[in-house]
Amino acid sequence: MKTKPSASPALPTRNHLLAALPKSDYQRLATHLEPIPLPLGWSVYEPGSPMEHVFFPTDGIISLLYVMENGASAEIAVTGNEGLVGIALFMGGESTPSRAVVQSAGQAYRLRADFLKEEFERGGELQHLLLRFTQALITQMAQTAVCNRHHTVEQQLCRWLLLSLDRLPSNDLIMTQELIANMLGVRREGVTEAAGHLQQAGLIQYQRGHITVLDRSKLAERVCECYAVVKRESDRLLGRRPAQMLQ
């Protein structure tokens, strides 16, 4: 799918990793950052394909999925403006067995793989930030596997909604139940039933692929412990912000 740079993209520092860089490191990267839209459903990476760029979302959400030979899929993690997509490039790989797909449309900045690897090898704060983000992402992947095995579809849906809201500026999500079922790796009927329970309880409103969260605090009361584990670790690793933010 061909993409064109947005006419008026958000500042790169809307991405928390880029914003947390020391000014000198950020300025080295800034001239190489290319704005790119993230249209809904766009495949950022396909399994086994060469990875030529990393992507720093400024808004929107990208899902990391594992796709089976029979076409079945399940989400293993989500990334928004707290991080980047493409960790395999600086962790020693040139490709990944997972698929990265835009779950919620937005914008990002991409950076050439060779340039990022050169900067990573410099060490310093960029390397530390990328490694801390990777640890947070691994925690999310591990907890997602546990959640999918031991918790109900309703609990999984609550976790998925809360993780999505943490990465969006509003309480609205554009997502069909079929796509949610594909993300969670469950039957669509299970998502329909779980969403119906949440709607009857007044927690969400769902209509024609549009989900609005009406009561986030009550949604948090229904979610399993997996959401808190992931959020706590992410906040611990990435929550510290620089004394002087780049503008």
pLDDT in tens, 103-157: 889 999 999 999 999 999 988 899 999 999 999 999 999 998 888 888 888 998 9
Q: What are phi and psi of 36, to 5 degrees?
A: -150, 135
Query: What is the 8-class DSSP label of residue 31?
Result: T
136 falls within a domain: no
HSE, side-chain direction, 13 A CA sphere, residue 201: 17
Torsion over CA: 158, 206, 79, 181 (sign): positive
Residue 247 banded pLDDT, cuts 50, 70, 90: very low
Average pLDDT (69-97) is 86
CATH (domain of 203): 1.10.10.10
4 has pLDDT over 80: no
244 falls within a domain: no
241 falls within a domain: no
Q: Supply angle C-alpha 47, 53, 59, rounded to 5.
A: 95
39 falls within a domain: yes
Q: Which domain holds residue 72?
A: 12-125
Q: Are residues 119 and 162 in the same domain?
A: no
Q: Are 68 and 119 in contact (CB under 8 A)?
A: no
The helix or strand, by DSSP H or E, that contains position 106, with its residue range, turns out to be: strand 99-112
Q: What are phi and psi of 37, to 5 degrees?
A: -75, 155
Domain count, the chain: 2
Q: Are residues 25 and 107 in the same domain?
A: yes
Residue 182: per-residue pLDDT: 72
Residue 6 banded pLDDT, cuts 50, 70, 90: very low
Average pLDDT (219-243) is 82
